Amino acid sequence: MLRVGVIGTGMIGRDHIRRMTTVLAGVTVTAVTDVDVDTAKKVVEGLPGATLHATGEELIADPAVDAVVVCSWGPTHEQYVLASIAAGKPVFCEKPLATTQEACLRIVQAEVAAGRRLVQVGYMRRYDAAYRALKQVVDSGAIGAPLMMHCAHRNADVPAFYEKESAITDTAVHEIDMVRWMFGEEITAARVLIPRRSRNGGPLQDPLFLILEMAGGALVDVEISVNIRYGYDIRGEVVGEDGTAALGELSPVTVRTSRQVSTPVPADWRERFLRAYDGEIQEWIDSLAGGGTPVGPNAWDGYAAAVVSDAGVAALRSGDRVPVVLAARPDLYAAEAVLS
């Protein structure tokens, strides 16, 4: 039974606690902390035997904590991840790994110095059944070498605090991680094209069209539409030399009424990726059994996503093609380990 301490009891933190206490196997939540002490108190009341800590550092040091989950405010991620590494404890950090690429690189360096992989980052698409089936077809060679990928990331709407660059840093960052994993390659450049603006987006430039170049020459395009009203819709088609493979439709029911055959579209990412979140945490728990190493998105993945995201933001601002410049990849993250 893995004993987990959770830093941050906001929406996503509480959701992971619910998951670890009522859905998943082999895990118990033994410690909790949050800057908002009242919320944290309420949460801990629902967790028999769990300790409320005053700080993240205190929680990390708790001997009843085998592994740490970081769901706090983004700017605090770096310190808690570094503290976990320093304590030699596995840490699952919600995305982003840190809010700057420099901070991400410091985490990478700390982990390299520690000599073993302790960090996993919360990019959950790799755990989605449809993405996995897609990758399996691509990897099987059935469509030949992959040459392009067409993606669409569509939200019905976004909250008021969503900013111009959020389309890259919060939204497309999921595709950024996903295509590195799908192609097993780094991204080498980014470009953003600007379509006509939707009336639904207010002052936002919405939609955007992000174009990513892969190290092997493949081209990825991502439509980012975050106020498209009709629902939450994630689409992806890999174009190979001999055919294509796309995310399936996944509709549980087909209805014939009112002159239409219709299938439902999810309302939001919770509905669409619920199972992927479950799988992400369950596989993380399982990977740690007996002192094992996490196999999901690692610190290098978190760093690379940050660098590509920065390039995407620069491309959005300048209108130019912006190269992605990564530090040398440490041996700890050899290609086979990182991207497969």
Residues 154-193 that bind a second copy (CB under 8 A): 193
- Paired with 28 in beta bridges are 3
Distance CA 144, CA 240 (A): 5
| Least distance from a second copy to the Cβ atom of residue 152, Å | 8
Of 74, 303, 296, whose CA–CA distance to 170 is shortest? 74
Q: Which listed residue (250, 325, 334, 335) binds a second copy by CB under 8 A?
A: 250
| Least distance from a second copy to the Cβ atom of residue 244, Å | 5
Q: Which listed residue (96, 122, 207, 294) binds a second copy by CB under 8 A?
A: 207
CB 302 within 8 A of CB 95: yes
Residues 6+ apart with CB under 8 A from 50: 29, 30, 31, 32, 44
Cβ-based nearer residue to a second copy, 95 or 126: 126
| Least distance from a second copy to the Cβ atom of residue 105, Å | 29
Residues from 18 through 77 that contact a second copy (CB under 8 A): 20-26
Distance CA 140, CA 225 (A): 31
What SS3 class is residue 117? Answer: coil
Residues from 275 through 304 that contact a second copy (CB under 8 A): 282, 286
Q: Which listed residue (34, 62, 175, 223) binds a second copy by CB under 8 A?
A: 223
Distance CA 277, CA 124 (A): 6
Radius of gyration of the chain (CA): 20
Q: Which listed residue (178, 245, 308, 311) binds a second copy by CB under 8 A?
A: 245
| Least distance from a second copy to the Cβ atom of residue 195, Å | 4
Q: Which listed residue (203, 260, 331, 336) binds a second copy by CB under 8 A?
A: 260
Please name the helix (run of DSSP H) or strand (run of DSSP E) that holds residue 147, with its range, or none.
strand 146-154
- Paired with 223 in beta bridges are 152, 209
| Least distance from a second copy to the Cβ atom of residue 78, Å | 31
The site that binds a second copy (CB under 8 A) totals a number of residues, namely 77
| Least distance from a second copy to the Cβ atom of residue 210, Å | 12
| Least distance from a second copy to the Cβ atom of residue 94, Å | 21
Cβ-based nearer residue to a second copy, 42 or 197: 197
Distance CA 187, CA 221 (A): 12
Contact region with a second copy (CB under 8 A), list: 8-16, 231-239, 305-313, 332-340: 231-239
What does the per-residue mask of binding to a second copy show for 112-151, with x meaning CB under 8 A?
-----------------xx-xxx-xx----xxxxxxx-x-
Q: Kindly give the pairing relationship between strand 233-240 and strand 146-154.
A: antiparallel
| Least distance from a second copy to the Cβ atom of residue 54, Å | 28
Residues from 76 through 115 that contact a second copy (CB under 8 A): none
Cβ-based nearer residue to a second copy, 98 or 311: 311
| Least distance from a second copy to the Cβ atom of residue 173, Å | 21
Q: Which listed residue (161, 203, 261, 331) binds a second copy by CB under 8 A?
A: 261
CB 169 within 8 A of CB 95: no
Contact region with a second copy (CB under 8 A), list: 74-82, 91-99, 106-114, 243-251: 243-251
Of 299, 295, 284, 281, whose CA–CA distance to 97 is shortest? 299
CB 297 within 8 A of CB 165: no
Output the six-digit token pair for 180: 């590195």
Of 154, 293, 166, 301, whose CA–CA distance to 225 is shortest? 154
